[in-house]
Amino acid sequence: MTTKQIDYCIELARTLNFSRAAENQFVSQPTFSYQIRLLEEEIGFALFERSGKGASLTPAGAQFVSFLSGMREDLKRAIEQGQNFSAKYKDAITVSMMVRQAIYFLPEAMRLFDQAAPDVQIVPKFQYENGMDSFLKGDADILFTLREHTRQLSNVIVHDLFDSRIYLIAQRDDPLAEKNLITESDLYGRTLMVGGGSPNALKAVQHRLIASGKIDYFNSADHDTTYVNIAAGRGICLAPGFLNDHSGQFAWIPFDCEEHFECVLCTHKTDARQSLASFINILKKLYRDAVAFPL
């Protein structure tokens, strides 16, 4: 199967007309039809029903084209990334994190690193789930995670980055948003959203609040769903500071507790590149210098 055949198949599925699809692909109709027939022979089943009025997808063809379209987009992105890389860069460092805001100073670190090593590309990779497995398989060079998730790892170097506190997230017009520090008693009588893959430190605080018997609570599937629920006035939430995007949409108020999160970066012991060490040091310095920045 060639990329040309993939493009022809997707275009015919869109137009359901051989003449129009061939014209859109800038080839003659006989050439176009021949390539579609070769593709069907290769995969072993018919993709299209031919008729005097044009073409229609077979049930198997409809399913096949659906998968084919996704594969073609992935291939297109891979080619574009390869073109970008080959045109300017000699090396790349991939940074895996669960959400963009997890490493808040990443854009600034990339800018500074680009000045020092313009031929090395920093590639952010967002993996809300399975980031650790992907890193251990070698799909990423740097992993942002919590120290509690690194206890049993081998062949990995753990770099301290920053400590993150627990914050209350509420609508900006919520009375709690006027406070500088939230205590447990401030939440009595309120509805707290819990769950959504909360880290252990946050789970401990949530369980303590629920055990008081003085708050209502319900489970929220993930952080984005929680944001929607807060905006809808359905409740409030406690969250790690490293998830704060500092957009100003919600109020983030520090919560009075000792629990916190040790945020770290992991690299592979076998990766001794000087460029990698340099980038790690840039990130660490940015966080070290952010004395008054809420984390």
Domain 90-162+266-289: top CATH class: alpha beta
Question: CATH 1.10.10.10 residue ranges in the chain?
Answer: 3-86
pLDDT on residue 280: 98
**Share of residues in the chain with pLDDT > 70 (%):** 99
d(CA 174, CA 178) in angstroms, rounded, equals 8
Predicted confidence at residue 85, as pLDDT, reads 63
Q: Hey, which CATH number is domain 166-254, 1.10.10.10, 3.40.190.10, 3.40.5.90, 1.10.10.60?
A: 3.40.190.10
Give the H/E segment covering residue 156.
strand 156-164
Using one digit for the tens of pLDDT, what is the confidence trace for 29-44? 999 999 999 999 999 9
CA angle 272, 276, 279 (to 5 degrees): 150
How many residues are given for the chain?
A: 295
109-134 residue pLDDT tens: 999 999 999 999 999 999 888 899 99
**Three-state DSSP class for residue 224:** helix
- What is the H or E stretch that residue 192 is in? strand 191-194
* pLDDT surpassing 80 at residue 81: no
Residue spans in the chain of domains classed CATH 3.40.190.10: 90-162+266-289, 166-254
Q: What is the CATH number of domain 3-86?
A: 1.10.10.10
> pLDDT tens digits for 221-243?
888 888 899 999 999 999 999 99
Q: Please report the pLDDT score of residue 71 as a whole number.
A: 86
